[in-house]
């Protein structure tokens, strides 16, 4: 609770302490960008976990069942996630902020490119699209959990697969829906911060980031719960496989990151290249730091077999990766928001903001995460964990009657060690 208080305090502080460079605009860009950044990050984790539960169910995976309840608890965070995203949506609707260049009607009217995109990038779709799509996700996330809890009560591991069959049916329906709606939401929430720029790889890249964050948080949570004496049945073997997931998706993330960079760099289209030009020249810490924490460190640490089986090393790496992907979202959102705010100030409302000749100086809370940003992060994390523990306490930590329970209990990677 204290941490949540800290988060709220830091949000208020970020509202007051607007960096001097853009303070005269009165957009409260630091507050809104912090809010958007964390809201998107945690809501996305909940979405990605829902997606992974569906994917694992459809793929007949059994090993994850012993810690399935943690993921179900994660997925329920979509409900508060929707509320905070709707707050942002309403603020965009009523022009309380200037996160998105496309939300500025005068600017859109004077801008051919934004006019062309306005069928998707408009305030109505932002608000109601979020409501509809996240609402759909919530429906499935709640359905998955509800079926799993029902199974606890009157299911049976050996003879009664009724609930599991139904779960699989819903999971199969959810997968294609999630595959289309997930990227749509990412484009809307994150990519449209740079309204002129687009990248078809962006959704892959940021969804991999969400999943890595969720996976590393799962590992940390499992180790924490084990240290408290819960979840004894989750063994090194399960954590080893989670570690492998983290390792593999670290490489996948880097692959997406590099592909996006290289294609844009090589094709040399001005509108696209400017995105990377700005980030490399003015945010070198974000640009290269991102690569170091999210690729170099986990790659080198997790490469060996034994590091994935040692709780301490795994916990440390998970913490690095978790922070790293929060940092990754910082990098996706903050520079764009700053540019939007500066453009809006420099040219006044209504000017087509192609030029980006803003000063290459240090801007509090944008150039690198400041203490207030970290405070907001801690606050949101505390809220997320509070919610997750609350959900966990509502049901048995082990899904008693899941048909894959036996398989999961005997999951072995290196049994004779």
Partner 1 sequence: MKGQHKEVLFGLYNDEEVLMSAIKKAKKQHLDIMDVYSPFPIHGMDTVLELEESRLHVVGFIFGMTGTLTALIGISWIFGGSLMFDGDWPTLFGGKPYWSLPAFIPITFEMTVLFCAIGMVVVFYIICGLGFGVNNPILDDRITDDKFCIAFQTNGMDEADMDKLKGFFSATGAEEVHTKTI
Site for partner 1 in 394-413 (CB under 8 A): 412-413
Supply the minimum distance, in Å, between the C-beta of residue 338 and partner 1.
26
Supply the minimum distance, in Å, between the C-beta of residue 262 and partner 1.
5
Say if CB 321 and CB 292 are below 8 A apart.
Answer: no
Tokens of 24: 């005269």
Mutual orientation of helices 371-393 and 29-58 as an angle, nearest 10°?
Answer: 40
Q: Identify which range of 75-83, 164-172, 217-225, 261-269 contacts partner 1 by CB under 8 A.
A: 261-269
Which residue in 180, 224, 265, 386 binds partner 1 (CB under 8 A)? Answer: 265
Supply the minimum distance, in Å, between the C-beta of residue 283 and partner 1.
18
Placement of tokens 């999951």 in the chain: 411
Residue 75 is classified by DSSP as H
Which residue in 41, 261, 322, 366 binds partner 1 (CB under 8 A)? Answer: 261
Considering the complex, state which of residue 224 and residue 265 has its C-beta at the smaller distance from partner 1: 265
CA distance 252 to 323: 18
Supply the minimum distance, in Å, between the C-beta of residue 264 and partner 1.
10
- The helix/strand/coil state of 116 is helix
Say if CB 210 and CB 325 are below 8 A apart.
Answer: yes
Residue 349 is classified by DSSP as T
Tokens of 187: 């484009």
Which residue in 20, 24, 159, 268 binds partner 1 (CB under 8 A)? Answer: 268
Say if CB 56 and CB 383 are below 8 A apart.
Answer: no
Considering the complex, state which of residue 390 and residue 414 has its C-beta at the smaller distance from partner 1: 414
Supply the minimum distance, in Å, between the C-beta of residue 242 and partner 1.
18
Residue 262 contacts partner 1 per CB under 8 A = yes
Residue 270 contacts partner 1 per CB under 8 A = no
How many residues make contact with partner 1 (CB under 8 A)? 13
Site for partner 1 in 200-259 (CB under 8 A): 258
CA distance 172 to 55: 8
Instruction: Count other Cβ atoms within 10 Å, centred on residue 357.
Output: 8
Tokens of 290: 């991102």
Considering the complex, state which of residue 106 and residue 412 has its C-beta at the smaller distance from partner 1: 412
Interface with partner 1 (CB under 8 A):
258, 261-262, 265-268, 412-417
């Amino acid at each position: 609770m204290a941490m949540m208080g800290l988060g709220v305090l830091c949000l208020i502080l970020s509202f007051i302490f607007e960096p001097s460079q853009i303070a005269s605009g009165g957009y409260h860009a630091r507050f809104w960008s912090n809010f958007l950044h964390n809201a998107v990050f945690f809501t996305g984790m909940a979405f990605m976990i829902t997606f992974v539960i569906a994917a694992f169910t459809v793929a007949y995976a059994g090993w994850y069942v012993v810690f399935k309840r943690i993921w179900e608890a994660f997925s329920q965070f979509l409900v508060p996630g929707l509320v905070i995203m709707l707050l942002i949506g309403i603020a965009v609707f009523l022009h309380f902020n200037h996160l998105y260049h496309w939300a500025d009607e005068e600017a859109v009217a004077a801008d051919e490119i934004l006019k062309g995109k306005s069928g998707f990038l408009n305030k109505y779709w932002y608000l109601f699209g979020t409501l509809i799509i996240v609402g759909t996700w919530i429906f499935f996330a709640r359905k998955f959990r509800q079926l799993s809890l029902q199974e606890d009560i009157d299911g049976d591991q050996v003879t009664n697969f009724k609930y599991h069959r139904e779960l699989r049916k819903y999971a199969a329906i959810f997968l294609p829906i999630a595959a289309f709606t997930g990227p749509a939401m990412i484009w809307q929430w994150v990519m449209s911060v740079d309204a002129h720029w687009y990248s078809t790889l962006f959704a892959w890249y940021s969804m991999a980031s969400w999943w890595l964050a969720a996976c590393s948080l799962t590992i940390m949570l499992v180790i924490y719960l084990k240290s408290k004496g819960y979840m004894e049945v989750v063994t090194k073997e399960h954590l080893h496989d989670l570690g492998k997931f983290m390792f593999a998706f670290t490489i996948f993330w880097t692959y997406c990151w590099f592909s996006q960079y290289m294609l844009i760099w090589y094709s040399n289209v001005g509108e696209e290249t400017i995105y990377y030009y700005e980030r490399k020249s003015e945010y070198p810490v974000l640009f290269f730091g991102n690569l170091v924490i999210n690729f170099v460190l986990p790659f080198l640490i997790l490469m060996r077999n034994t590091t994935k089986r040692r709780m301490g090393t795994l916990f440390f790496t998970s913490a690095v990766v978790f922070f790293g992907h929060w940092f990754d979202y910082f990098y996706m959102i903050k520079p764009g928001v700053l540019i939007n705010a500066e453009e809006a100030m420099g040219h006044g409302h209504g000017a087509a903001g192609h030029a980006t000749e803003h000063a290459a100086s240090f801007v509090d809370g944008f150039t690198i995460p400041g203490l207030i940003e970290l405070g907001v992060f801690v606050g949101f994390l505390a809220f997320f964990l509070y919610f997750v523990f609350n959900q966990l306490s509502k049901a048995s930590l082990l899904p008693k009657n899941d048909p894959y329970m036996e398989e999961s209990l005997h999951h072995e990677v290196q049994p004779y060690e």
